[in-house]
Structure 1
Amino acid sequence: MSKETSTWLNTHVLIGFTDKRGHAWHYRADHQGTEPNHYPGPIPITEVKRRLFGWSAEPARVFVEDRFGLRLAEHHLGVTTSDTGDLLAIHTDEYGIHQYSTWLLDNVAALLDDGLAIGSAGLLRERKQAWVSVEIPDNITTPEGVQFRPNLLACSSHDASLKTRYKRVVTNVVCDNTMNLSLREDGQEVAIVHKRNSALHLLSAREALQIVHTVADDFAAEVKKLCQTTVTDRAWKAFLDAHTPIPTEPGRGRTNAANKRAALTRLWTSDSRVSPWKNTGWGVVQAVNTHLNHEALIRGAGRAERNMTRVMTGELAKHDRTAAATLHKVLATV
């Protein structure tokens, strides 16, 4: 992680409930700036508005300049920041701006019950993306020893890289990883396209998401099922062959595959974030998720930024589901 990326993460990302979860893994004390970005309890909504959302995205006219001079680009819309004038994106005039403060704070407050508070919030990609995570105050520990925090994650963008989404996820406390709520794809999020006059229908969104209080039981049931799934050493090797096959031809691909298999096996056998659940289905999912979050090769972005982007786009959830589906296929044949 470059110092610039670390400084951004430690000033433009706010982490709450550190008395329950500890510091975020990207925490660097010397990159905190004048105000710490970690809070022992919930993050006050006033802090999120002041430190992250104290500006707005403003529409701007777009011009083109060529040998015919300077002309207005009709049917196009620029998006700029109200405080610095930075250009965030250029869209067609059908694009609808979703202000972070409205869509990630006000709408979420209307969706949720009392007893929930902001657990994390942040800006990424030079403020082109943002998220707010709402959580219950206490960690939950399953009988199998898996400690987690249920979340409702709200995220959006100004560069069309993300729809505005409200989704149920969990934070796995032992590794500070975000994980998909379940291996199902249905009913886990509500997405709104950035179009003029787009709106969130609160009642239908609430019914679809079933809100954060239902996350604990659903996730705990998934953990129990996976922990009761036995994965022998032979099945683990078969899983590696299916999940990360080694190419027959020598080269970078073969080397990368061998390195990934070695890293997954080390997590499986001797890493405290995974090894307590060795020889179970949960151990398999945990090994794959932890490797992707903390050890997989990253190109073109910092690890923390890439991890959060994967969560917001749903890519991480697909990885979890794919790993579990591969495991079930392997167990049916071994």
Structure 2
Amino acid sequence: MSRESLQWLNQNTLIGFTDQRGHAWHYRAGEQGGEPNHYPGPIPVRDVIRRLFGWQPVEGTVESAFITEDGVTRVTDTARKAIIRPDTGAILGVFKQGYQIHDYAQWLVDNVATLLDDDLAIGSAGLLRGGAVAWVQVEVPETCTTDEGVAFRPFLLAASSLDGSLKTTYRRGATVVVCDNTLSAALNESGAWQIKIKHSSNSLGRITRAREALGIVHRVADDFAAQVRALCRVEVTDRQWDRFLTELVPVPPEQGRSRTLAERRREALTALWRHDPRVSPWRGTAYGVVAAVNTYTHHEQSVRGAHRAERNMLRAVTGEFDQLDRETLSVLDRVLDGAFTR
């Protein structure tokens, strides 16, 4: 995991539709590198290409040297190749010869254009790990609001890597505006919310099936609104909330660091549940429970080895937040005696 500086994040991430969502929490006006990275409307495609993807990864040989009694010996591994970022000289990954580069401009911009409706536009884009990971997120221009007062922005996210950490992935989701959180738009779907494509010789052909597999982004609005409505109809009393915490964050009986950490986590979650405007308006419902755990993970949980913005984006790209929401509801389901599975 890289340790991207806030300056890096502000110069290598682009945030659109700030008139709708506000600035990203990691925004620093003095660290924009002379050119703002926040846009009041959609991010122009040309800016994504110019500012982020204006370089093309290249393949290089894998060589090594070692010292013997006869001197320095050099060897080349002809079965493997290195993927290099030429403008920085960074080696992003080493792979077998069958690995195919998915150039970001092609796979995250050009290919995404074949998945989009005409009124969708880029809402965010960026590089992580020195360019080893990248994403482009497209959104509808206007923020949607459910009858329960949850403002959100449906998206289609395209992401890929050059270090082997991520297959090229196209997935749907929703960003909740009040807390800038990524929530699952398909808690009850097994896999229709995303498609992953390996970096292999036949990978290009799969893009033609991605749109049909994912469905249009506009459908996310209906799916997410229905999900919020269903969760808001499930009552969760304060006593059930306490039982939920006991299941989610058990407190060890013995004194020590583990007990302290568990107690702090429970206190932070309860503060969100009772008082925080990102969660408390939906206190007393299953949606409030999901919002509390999701918001805690986005904004309160300790982060090691990376800045929070980087960790949150990686979790969104890999689908970890979707899994988090599912696990939250699984625990709550046990507390409510099968409210979601009956």
Matched residues in 2 for 1:327 and 1:298: separation? 25
Does structure 1 residue 99 correspond to structure 2 residue 103? yes
- In 2, Cα distance between equivalents of 1:173 and 1:20: 8
- Aligned-partner Cα distance in 1 for 2:250–2:59: 49
Aligned to 2:31: 31
Letter in 2 for 1:195: S
1:88 aligns with 2:121: no
For residues 250 and 200 of structure 1, what CA distance do their matches in structure 2 show? 57
Give the TM-score normalised by the residue count of structure 1.
0.97
DSSP 3-state at the match of 2:130: coil
Structure 1: stretches of 5+ with no match in the other structure: none
TM-score, length-scaled by structure 2: 0.94
Deviations 1:181-209 (A, max 9, x none): 12133211000111234224344211110
Is 1:174 matched with 2:174? Answer: no
Query: In 2, Cα distance between the equivalents of 1:211 and 1:56?
Result: 30
Give the secondary-structure state (helix, strand or coil) at the position aligned to 2:336.
helix
| Runs (4+) off by over 4 Å | none
Q: Structure 1 residues 306 and 22 mapped into 2: Cα distance closer, same or farther (>3 Å)?
A: same
Q: In the alignment, residue 199 of structure 1 is paired with which amino acid?
A: L
Whether the 8 Å CA contact 1:94–1:196 is kept in 2: the answer is yes
Alignment partner of 2:231 out of 219, 226, 237: 226
1:192 and 1:200 in contact (8 A); partners too: no
CA contact (8 A) 1:179 1:317 kept: yes
The residue matched to 2:172 in structure 1 has which SS?
Answer: strand
Alignment of structure 1 residues 147-296 onto 2, 5 Å:
147-184=151-188, 185-296=190-301
**Alpha-carbon distance in structure 2 between the residues aligned to 1:146 and 1:244:** 27
Q: Is the 8 A contact 1:79 1:90 kept in 2?
A: yes
Residue 128 of structure 2 is matched in structure 1 by 124
Q: Does the 8 A contact of 2:15 with 2:38 survive in 1?
A: yes
Equivalents in 2 of 1:78, 1:309: separation in Å?
Answer: 23
Give the root-mean-square deviation of aligned CA atoms.
1.6
With 82-91 and 256-265 compared, the bigger mean Cα shift is at 82-91
* RCO higher in structure (CA 8 A, sep ≥6): 2
Which amino acid is 1:251 matched to?
G
The aligned amino acid for 2:107 is W
Q: Which deviates more from structure 2 when the two are superposed, residues 85-94 or residues 22-31?
A: 85-94
8 Å contact from structure 1 (residues 96, 197) kept in 2: no
Q: Identify the residue that residue 81 of structure 2 maps to in structure 1.
A: 77
What one-letter code is carried by the residue in structure 2 that aligns with 1:166? Y
Unaligned runs of 5+ in 2: none
| 8 Å Cα contact 1:168/1:211 also seen in 2 | no
1:244 and 1:176 map into 2 onto residues whose CA distance is 24
8 Å contact kept, 1:100–1:156? yes
CA contact (8 A) 2:125 2:134 kept: yes
Q: Please give the secondary structure, in 1, of the residue aligned with 2:337.
A: helix
Q: Deviations over 1:30-80 (max 9, x none)?
A: 111200000000000000000000001101111111136112111111011
How far apart, CA to CA, are the structure 1 residues paired with 2:14 and 2:196? 24
The whole-number CA distance in structure 2 between the counterparts of 1:140 and 1:333 is 30
Output the amino acid matched with 1:8: W
**Is 1:317 matched up with 2:322?**
yes
Following TM superposition, by how much is the alpha carbon of 1:300 offset from its aligned partner in structure 2, in angstroms?
1.1
Aligned residues with identical type, % of pairs: 54
Q: Secondary structure at the match of 2:224?
A: helix
Matched residue count = 333
Q: Secondary structure at the match of 1:221?
A: helix
Q: What displacement does 1:4 show?
A: 6.1
Partner SS state of residue 223, structure 2: helix
1:38 maps to a residue whose letter is H
**Cα contact 2:4–2:307 (8 A) shared by 1:** no
Conserved? CA contact 2:4–2:306, under 8 Å: no
Deviations 1:158-203 (A, max 9, x none): 0001110000011110001111112133211000111234224344
